[in-house]
Structure formats: structure tokens, C-alpha cells
Structure 1
Amino acid sequence: MKHFTNILRWLSVQKHLYILFGLLFIVPNCVFLFTEPLPVSVGIASIIMPLAFWMGVLLLARRPGIVVWCLLPKIILDGGQLVLLYLFGESVIAVDMFLNLTSSNASEASELLGNIFLVIICVFFFYTLPTLWLATRSVRLKDRLTDVFRRKWALRSLALFLIGVALCFLSPLQHHRFSLKDDVYPVNALYNLYFAITKSEKNANYHITSADFRFDSIRKAHPEGKREIYVLVVGETSRAMEWSLYGYERNTTPRMKQLDGLVHFTDVVTQSNNTHKSVPIILSAASAEDYGVIYDEKSIVTAFKEAGFRTLVIANQKLTTSMIGAFYREADSFIDMSSFNTGSYLTSLYDASLLPYLEKELDKSDDDMFVVLHTYGSHFNYHERYPAEFRFYTPDKAEGIRASYKTELRNAYDNSIHYTDYVLGEIVDMLKKKDACASMLYLSDHGEDIFDDSRGRYLHASPIPTYYQLHIPYVIWFSDNYRELFPDKYWTAVSHQAYPVSTNSVFHTMLDIANVQTAVSDSSLALTSKAFDIRDRMFLGDHDEPVPFWKVGLKKADFVMLDKWKMAYRKD
């Protein structure tokens, strides 16, 4: 009791609270010193300069608690940053994190928040609430900061800030180019928020900036007497290492393994570990190398529409607020299954629910068709992605996001892959019945971390990806009619199975399969073209800049897995 009384007495002095507030404001900065790959001088400067700045700002009032309450948004930002550091172990709140707030639906948000609720509560009770309680105590105290104290600490803050600036000038000696917007929290987080807002405005103006664009699509070949149906299936959070087709020990893809005419590509890397960037790259001529064209050009849906195909999109995810939704609305028919009543805003339909709608649309006419199916795939919560009859691996119900539940999480994840295999098999069977010249291309937008190694990483969309988020399945099925009419394309795809590939190949490959040529087609990116060319594979950075995927911050454990799966990257 005596110690508690002494602590309260110490906390009844404004100058003590002033120092304490300054230290509380740099808690995230101190964590970054150990998590970020910065030179020592820059790491220390990234603590000293913010500390000096906040110490100066806190002097604006004689009761520093008033300033703290005025900086409530900063305290909330710090709390969010600490939660993300727990989840991913490194990096500042990224642009993608801010954009995910506007592109996630209630089901996705509830699944994630429900499983990290304990972490959020801990941050609130051990950081946010104590800071605000101390601020309230400061406001109520009769004690004030004296003018002498304020002048003295104003000078000390200035001197400390200048020391930090001096340390930044040492960064070139350590082969680092210092950048305030990249290296210092919360400047980097606020810059990312600004970048996200700017990007959202570009997304919102897409219908204006792309209004006059035309692909000038033409069909170079058309099989006489045969209907053409080409299906692009966009998967979610599926990783190649969990497909038995790729060598996984569990038989998770029995139907894919038995399909005649199926080609699977073994060395495929996504260009983004975030849905709202990876899927637009899949659906357009944009790439990590040239992402800006996404705002000026239309999607693959319009390219096929111009070529005379009836276009259909069926989506089992809520994507209408993103660029993906804008692309999908270009279709002749867009069925947004996320808007269907499931009885709760927090649940979604199983992916097989799209099959009756697909069959109905295919039966409407004998038109040549291009179809995009966007599935929920293996998105967390995994055990909610499949019906009870697909509980092949049990136990499959985890009580939270913790390494202790890894067995349950992996079982549920593998069940979701098995269910994806079933859905794809049903789509192929449906196409076979049409006796058409048909093809189906499936790939996932990105992978996922599931407590795979000592880092304890989980989920996806982290600012720094891992092997597990990058390596994805990518398969193309060709019907008997297609292989008979266009054998060269099929065998060319077979010859490219082990080639290094990125997700930016999909747009060009899909068009080449359908013999559609556009003003932006690139045969060197089409896996069914003999002109396909191997190139360095890029990852789309947080500020939409291209970075070789092996230079995005991968760790030793990731390179071990890349080598295990014989994936190509520069080792110099």
C-alpha cells in the first residue's frame, strides 16, 4: 500500500507527468528500433527526434494532459500500431492496412477482430487507457508547469532534436538513404494514410479516367461450329504448398489430380499479398512494373466484351467498394452473391452456391462466353468456408489466433482447399457437358501465414510478405475440344509448367487462350504463347513501386522454403 501511495504522489507532479507523457508517446518508436532493418544511427534518430518533438508540443499547456487529450487521434493510432506489431512482428501501418478498412465486409472484419480481440483489449488496458487516465489526472491537478521549467525543456527538446538530425546525416555512411516519411513514426504512418486517401480518390474516379479507353479487341481465330466458353476463377488465400497436386502429403486436390487436360504451374509468385491490389493485376493489363495504368484502362471483362463475348461475373465476396467491383460492373451480367441474405451480416455463402447461377447463365443462350468467378476460397475463418461433409481433417475448430491452435487451423485450412478442389471439379464437369471449346484458369490472389515457423506469423497482407504469402497455385484446364482445335496452345502451356511466373500473366494468358488480340496484349506474358519470356518477378510495394520479390524483406526462413520448392530468384 505504501508503494502505491508513493506512486500516486509521484504522479501528482506535473513535471513528472510531462516526462512520462513524452516516453509514452514514443513506445511504438522504441519497438521499431528492434523490428525494423535500419542502421543504428537512423534507429536512434527515429526515437530521439519524435521524443524531442513531443516534449516540445507538450509544453504548449501548463497542464500537459490537455495536450495529450488533444492528441487523442495519435494515441488511437499508436494503439492500432501496437496491435499490428503483435500480428506481423514488424513494420509501420501500411497503406494497404488503411485501404483494407474500406474494402473489407462485416463478415471479414468480424472474423479477424473476434480472434484478435484479446490483443486489442490488452493494448487498450495497458497503453491507451493508462495514458488517458494520466492525462485526465494532469488536467485535474492544481499543479502547473512553471515558465522556468517550460523554457528549460524547450531548449532541451531543441537540442535533442538537433542531435537526432545530426545522426540522420550519418546514414549514408551506413549505406542507407534517410527519409522522414519512411523511417520515422508517426510521420511514415501519416504519410501512408495520405497515400491511401489519394489512392481511394483515384479508385473512385476510375469510371471517369477510363471512360474513353478501348482495347480494340479482335478475334484472331474462331472454331467453326463450336461454342467458346472461357472461365477465370479467382481464388482467395490459397497456397500451393497445401495442394496435393503440388506434392502435399494430404490428398487435398483429388479431382484436380485426375483431370485430363490440366496444366499446373509450379513456380508462381503473386505480385501483391493484398486482395485489393493483387486481383486488379489479375483482371487487367496492370502489373507491379506499371501499376498506374489501372486507373486509365479497363479490365479483361471489357476486352472480351469488345471481342463479341457475352460476359458474366459471379462474386462471393463483397468487392463493390474497390477497383475490383468497378471492373466487375463492366460485365453484361454481374451477380453479387455477397448481397444475398444469409441470415446474418457476419456469415457468407459457401463457394458451391455460385454453381447453380453459373449453370443458369450458361444455359441462357448459345453465345460465346467469358466468365469470372470470384470465390471466398480459404479466407479466414477457415472452418466457415466449407460444409460439414468436407470436414476430412479434424479437429478443425480453433478458439482463437494462437500458435497453440496450429493443428486445428491447418486442418480447417486443408479442408477449405479440399472444398476448393470440389468446386473447381464441378465447374469443369459443367463445362464438359456443354461440349464447347472451353478452358478454365484458376489461381489464388495470394497465400497465407499459419504459424509455419519460429516467427509465429499469421494471416496475410503484412507490409513485409513471407514465402507462404507469395507462392500460389495456378492451373489451366483445357477441354477435349480445345486441345483438338488448338493443340499448340495446350502443349506450349505444358512446356512452361516449371517456368517462373507472376500473376500479371493472367490477363495476357486468358486473352491468348481465347485467341483475342488487344491494343495492350503482350504475348511474352502469355503462358500459352511460344513468345513467353522469363523475366525478373516484381512485387508491388506499399507505395505502388515495383520491387524484386526476393528483395521485399524476406528472411532466411523464406529463402529456405523458396529453395525447397525450387523457385527462381536472383541469388547475387
Structure 2
Amino acid sequence: MPTSFLKLKKLQKTITLMQFNLILAIWLGLVLNFGFFEKINQLTPYQGIKSMLFLGATVIVIVATYNLLLQLISWKWSAKFFASLFVIIGGLSAYFVNSLGVIITPDQIQNLLQTDVREAKDLWSIRLIIWTLIFVISPLAVMATLKIEKESLQKQILKKAVMSSVSILFIVTLLFCFYVDYAAIFREHRDLKSMISPQNTIASTLSYYKKKSPKEKLPLVSYGEDAHVVQPAQPSKQPKLMVLVVGETARAESFSLNGYAKNTNPELSKLNIINFSQVSSCGTATAVSLPCMFSGMIRKDYDEKLANHREGLLDIAQRAGYKVTWIDNNSGCKGTCDRVEQYQIPQALKQKWCDASGECLDEILVDSLRDYLKNLQKNDTASHLIVLHQMGSHGPAYFKRSKAPYQPFQPMCNSNAIQGCSTTELHNSYDNSIVYTDHVLSQIIQTLKQNTDYQTGFWYLSDHGESTGEHGLYLHGAPYSMAPTQQTHIPMLMWFSETWQLKNAEQVACLNTQSKQILSHDNLFPSLLSLLDIKTQVIESKNDMLKDCSHALKNKV
């Protein structure tokens, strides 16, 4: 035997399986979940000693539940396997729950599976490494020094029966004593269980694969097959060209256009735009919002499985005769652009705007749009819908989402371990990313303004918002039912060229009347099709921003 192995064997301490399971249950139930217990303490109806008793009862219930589970699955031959699995999963999920306030749900699992290497690297930090050493590596090392004592099967079963009975007794007794309080708390805060590690990650992963994972070889469902463009009485020599910019992680409350005290929109504020101040997102993460907003389904009725294999907005626009192009500076279109042209960004632009890891500043979208327009044939008579997908304010590395000329707010948080930055630094870093988005959007509008071959239009809206420490939450992806407004209240604005306004005066006038109305992603599908003069029976008129006031305009006339 190697010397190191012999030394390790000498260091090993013998421990019974009952002791091993109890220690593991305490680690999983108590040590990893202080964020959950802190939340429970905030929600407790008691004060003083009663509050401490309620909190203590909650700790015992969680520990006893894990202990009961371990009696069923953890035997001498399987104990260390399950323990290692739970420690790794629980330790990593606890970091995001306890340090960033992230709630682990099936949507978060979907985000994880659909993210790319660049986004994943942004999550790594010194804090995460230290956390991993303490809460993952250290317990695994301790586990290696423990040797589980050999016991007869009969003795193991007897001990497991006793421990299971004790665990059930504690669980039933304490839940009975505090039933009314637990019922009230968990009825109002159903997603609290998603803060308990490692069950949150395990349960959410199983739920994702059962309910949300895309199924292969499902037939494509046609949608809007009757789509066609309604030609005006006097056809224009200038076809329509609409640029739809899908923002990333921008929240409305950080736009000075919406009343934010810091001037985050110095360039857009000087342009003739229509700013919509009361808009909400379909989801709190890209993996949900992006397919939803293009699907033709409203948020409350959104069926993710159906959206995965049904045609959407871009397919309908293409069927109606529009040349549809997707230009991406993010982690992909989540299936929404699979059947339309996907512009390949030239290598020269990547060298200009991207770093060594392949992460690019959003001005690459401006140059890509200019390159795309430059290469259109001069006698082109096709109408165009171009979608630009931003990197935007994607966190936690907000400091990467802007460059020096667009960083007026100092000091900044120059780290992706954002929970370690001061509130001022964190907000400055995020706000600077909005300032840079303001510049990018303004440059896109200026590019369209200079193009006289088309009636040009511009529509910007973010996929979801972002939490930057409010209510102890960071990033995004909270369950929609409990998500703060920072994650659901999004910016949206439009701009139209003089030619578009001249030839579509009623459209623009109609939109101007709705700048302060309550709107959402639900309005994108029908309203964009109407703006593009596309008619189809699948348009729900109640969410069509143009249909909403068309009668009022006619009555005025």
C-alpha cells in the first residue's frame, strides 16, 4: 500500500452509521440554511423568547426531516456516496441562496442549463472559491477521515427504526404545535422551500426535467398561417424596416426617463422617442421571458412546452413577406430565431469589440446593423424586421457592461462578487451599464435616422429586470409570484423616422397616447405585427396597442 494511504487509514476515526447520518443531517439542515432561517425569523409572528422557540422548532424540523431521509437511503455501502452528493449540491446551492438571495426554482435550473461558458465564468469569484473550500471541500475532507463501523444488518435496521421514529416524533409534534404559523407563512410564501439546500436544487432539477425540459422530435406546430401584409392604398417606394432591440437585465426604475434621480439616459432624452413607463415582463429570466414574448401567448397562459415547438412572431413576420434577421450578442435566442436568418458577425467586428474570452461590448450590435444595412441591395424592395439581442446589464459582472467614457458614476464595484461591494458602488456599476445601453440605443436610432431608403422604426424593451441588493436579493430569476418590481418592471421605448411618421401618422399618434398606460410583454406580439401592417387571425386585439385606441381615433375624426 502507498505510504499516504496508510497514513490516511491511521487518521480515520470509526463512527457508527447512526452518528454519521445525524451529523450529516445537522450539516445539511442547519449549517447550509442560515439564509432560510433568517427569512423565517423575519416572517415569524412572535417576539422575544417565543420567536427563538419558533426558530428553534424550525431548525429541528428541517434537521429531523433530513435525518429521516438519510435513514431510508443511507446505508454503510451508500452513506459516503449520498453524503458527498448532498454536500456538493447543498454547498454550492447554499452559496447562491445565502450570499445572493437567489431562490432555486426549475426556472433557475433552466437558466443554468442554457447559459454559456462566458456567463458561467462571470459567477466565479474569490468569495465563491472561499465558500467552496469551507462548505464543500472541508466537509468532504473530514468525511474522508471517518470510517463507518461495521454492524449487522439487524442492528442497522433496529437503529434506523429508532432514529426514524424519533425524527417523525419531532416533526409531527413541532408541526402540530406551530401548525397555524407554518400554514400562514408557507401559504403566503410558497417558494420558501426553494431556499432550503440541497433539496431545492434536487427537487427543482427533477421538476425541470419532468415539466419544462424540451422534448425532442415534437412536430412543429404552424401558427398564423393566414398572415399577410395589408398593402396601403398608395404603395410606398420605401418599405418598412423595423429594428427590435431585446435588452438584457435592464430595469425601468434605473432609467432617468422614468424619473430615476441619476441621469442614466443623457442621449435618449434628447431624441424624439416614446417612453413607456409602466411595462412588466413575462418572466424574471431570459430563458422564460424571451420565448414567451415571441410566442403569441400571454404570460398567464404561457405554455413553455408548446412554445418550444410552435411557430412564433418571427415565423409569422417571415411568412407575411418580411426579411427577418436575428443579430445576437448574448447567449442565443432560446429557440425563437431557429427558422429565420441568423446574422454572422464578421471577425473584424469581433476583434474590435470582444475580449479574449469572446465577451463583446454591445456596440458590436451597432456596427453589425450598419454592416447589414450597407450590404442590402440598392434596389431592395423587401420589408425588414431586424432583432438585436443585447448583452445589456447582465450580471453579476456589471463593470464589464460599459466602458470608461460611459461610466460617470463613481466609485464602481469592479468585482463579480457584488454582495461584497457597498450599495453605492454596486448601484454605480449597474447604473453605468444603463448609461452605456443608452449610448448603444441612441447610436442605433442615429443609424436608422440616416437611412432614407426605408421607413425606419425602432422598438426597445428588456427581457426582465434585476435586483441589486433590495430586500436582500441579487441578480434575477425569483419566482414571479414573489419577485420584486426591480425584476419585473422593465423599460420600453420606441422611435420612428420622419418618413414612418408621415406615412403612418395614426399609428404613431395612437402609441403616444399610451406612454403611461399599464403594458407588458403581452403587447409585443400583436402590436409589432400591427406596426408592420401584418394581419392574422391569431392576433388578440385586446393586447394590440394600435387596436386599443383605433376606435378613439376614428371617433375624433
> TM-score range with shorter-chain normalisation?
0.7 to 0.9
Matched, 1:127 2:135: yes
Q: 1:396 aligns with which of 412, 429, 432?
A: 412
Matched, 1:314 2:317: no
Instruction: Give the secondary structure class of the aligned counterpart of 1:265.
Output: strand
Q: 2:226 aligns with which of 198, 216, 239?
A: 216
**Structure 1 counterpart of 2:368, one-letter code:** Y
Confirm or deny: 8 A CA contact 2:282 2:293 kept in the other structure: no
Alignment partner, residue 102 of structure 1: 113
Q: 2:460 aligns with which of 437, 442, 445?
A: 442
Distance 1:312 1:247 in 2: 34
Where does 1:393-542 land on structure 2 (aligned, <5 Å)?
Answer: 393-399=409-415, 400-435=417-452, 436-451=454-469, 453=470, 455-463=471-479, 464-530=482-548
From the superposition, tell whether residues 145 and 78 of structure 1 become closer, same or farther in structure 2 (CA, over 3 Å): farther
Matched, 1:298 2:302: no
Gaps (5+ residues) in structure 2? 1-9, 46-53, 552-557
Q: 2:296 aligns with which of 285, 292, 306?
A: 285
Where does 1:48-127 land on structure 2 (aligned, <5 Å)?
Answer: 48-58=64-74, 60-61=75-76, 67-89=79-101, 91=103, 93-114=104-125, 117-122=126-131, 124-127=132-135
Matched, 1:327 2:336: yes
Superposition CA RMSD, Å: 3.6
Confirm or deny: 8 A CA contact 1:280 1:286 kept in the other structure: no
Q: 1:250 aligns with which of 244, 254, 262?
A: 262
Where does 1:35-54 land on structure 2 (aligned, <5 Å)?
Answer: 35=39, 45-54=61-70
Distance 1:9 1:331 in 2: 63
Q: Give the Å deviation of 1:254.
A: 2.4
Instruction: Give the secondary structure class of the aligned counterpart of 1:443.
Output: strand
Distance 2:121 2:545 in 1: 39
**Structure 1 counterpart of 2:163, one-letter code:** R
Alignment partner, residue 359 of structure 2: 348
**Structure 1 counterpart of 2:266, one-letter code:** P
Distance 2:35 2:428 in 1: 34
Distance 2:137 2:23 in 1: 14
From the superposition, tell whether residues 246 and 213 of structure 1 become closer, same or farther in structure 2 (CA, over 3 Å): closer
TM-score normalised by length of structure 2: 0.80
Distance 1:189 1:485 in 2: 54
Alignment partner, residue 375 of structure 1: 390
TM-score normalised by length of structure 1: 0.78
Alignment partner, residue 26 of structure 1: 29
Q: How many residues align?
A: 508
Distance 1:210 1:111 in 2: 35
Confirm or deny: 8 A CA contact 2:282 2:520 kept in the other structure: yes
Distance 2:343 2:335 in 1: 11
From the superposition, tell whether residues 209 and 181 of structure 1 become closer, same or farther in structure 2 (CA, over 3 Å): farther
- Measured against aligned partners, the alpha-carbon deviations of 1:432-457 in whole angstroms (never above 9, x if no partner) come to 22233222110111111223x4x443
Distance 1:147 1:370 in 2: 72
Q: Give the Å deviation of 1:407.
A: 2.9
- Measured against aligned partners, the alpha-carbon deviations of 1:276-324 in whole angstroms (never above 9, x if no partner) come to 11111222213321221413421211111111111111111121xxxx2
Distance 2:292 2:118 in 1: 25
| Identity percentage of aligned residues | 23
Gaps (5+ residues) in structure 1? 1-7, 534-572
Distance 2:484 2:111 in 1: 19
